[in-house]
Amino acid sequence: MRIVVLAGGLSTERDVSISSGLLVASALREKGHQVVLLDVFTGYEKDILDVDELFEQNYSFTDGIKVGETISDIDEIKENRRDKSDRYLGENVVDICSFADITFLALHGGEGENGQIQAAFDLLGIRYTGSGYLGSALAMNKGLTKSVLIQNKVLTPRGEIFNSPEEAMKWNIFPCVVKPCSGGSSVGITIVHTPSDYAQSVKDAFCYGETEIVVEQYVVGREFSVGLLGGRALPPIEIIPEGGFYDYRTKYQAGAAKEVCPADITEAEDKAMRDAAVATYDALHLSSYARVDFILDKFGNPYCLEANTLPGMTPTSLLPQEALAEGMSYADLCEKIIEISLERYAKKTDNSIGE
């Protein structure tokens, strides 16, 4: 099979995306597939494009990257682009993806995860992994996610959306969590314990190009994540950060957090969390695969925090660990994601034939 793995981009999670893309590409090549690894923003910048040769050579735009404790310099990435344009899709990206059997989206954050590239690929007839544009848009915006979950009676922390730092000063419940509305990998998220620290946290949350932020109640409890494949919940994994908060550094630095899977919880807690994950998946119109994050309080109530439509596939990522708990290797997981995603297109074809 010919597969493009699309990574990189301009979001704060660029390095995470490249790390995921490198591993996915390597795993799929080991399975015998022809794989081209592309940066969605820089694309393929050589003057002569021979798509057949790219697949035969298993072309990669980079050989490696390490996810550091801070995010990449996005302005530098833009400056180094050959055509100096602001287009999200780099040179030859569409042409190369059009020749693939499917494009594996190893993108995280920004246009890669908010439904925009999904909508563009739908219009261009390019098949891709993961949820469609609607589910991606709903899950990416934490404010919309919260509204949809409340409407569908999925337990989630009480919260509000604010469009400016001044408006956010209305909030008066502490401790609380302040987060950018559409960010990922915990970038810009802070736990605020006192009113005196609140204003600075709000200011920081608006520093990531956001026009709105979410402030929500801080729920005390244990942190978990539940992966889903084709709408089926995998074993919950518990995350125990060494510093007490699962921030960007903790997520991507080896040894910064202890992760336990299967989690040490009761059967009732396991069922409640898996059921809530499936309910979230269905409510947000997700498809193919996803990951849902929870806080389990002392009474065994799973509070849904957010859903991730393109879960990380880095060496420290959660979804591969959950799949492994069921005996599924990393390479098998990558192929399973492709298989489930292609089934979605097969169903569309079957439905159109029957109309």
Task: Give the pLDDT confidence of 154-207 residue by residue, as tens digits.
Answer: 999 999 999 999 999 999 999 999 988 865 445 678 999 999 899 999 998 887
The fraction of the chain above a pLDDT of 90, given in percent, is 74
111 or 347: which leads in pLDDT: 111
Query: For the segment 64-87, what is each residue's pLDDT rounded down to a tens digit?
Result: 876 655 566 788 888 889 988 889
Query: For the segment 91-133, what is each residue's pLDDT rounded down to a tens digit?
Result: 999 999 999 999 999 999 889 999 999 999 999 999 999 999 9
The fraction of the chain above a pLDDT of 70, given in percent, is 89
Residue 29 above 80 pLDDT? yes
| pLDDT band at residue 24 under the 50/70/90 scheme | very high
pLDDT at 345: 92
Nearest residue to 345 (alpha-carbon basis) of 136, 163, 102: 102
Spatial neighbors of 36 by CB under 8 A, at least 6 apart, are: 2, 3, 4, 5, 54, 55, 58, 59, 60, 96, 100
68 or 11: which leads in pLDDT: 11
Biggest alpha carbon–alpha carbon distance for the chain: 62
pLDDT at 32: 98
For the chain, list the domains and their CATH numbers.
Answer: 2-128 (3.40.50.20), 158-217 (3.30.1490.20), 222-333 (3.30.470.20)
3-state secondary structure 291-311: EEEEEECCCCCEEEEEEECCC
| pLDDT band at residue 255 under the 50/70/90 scheme | low
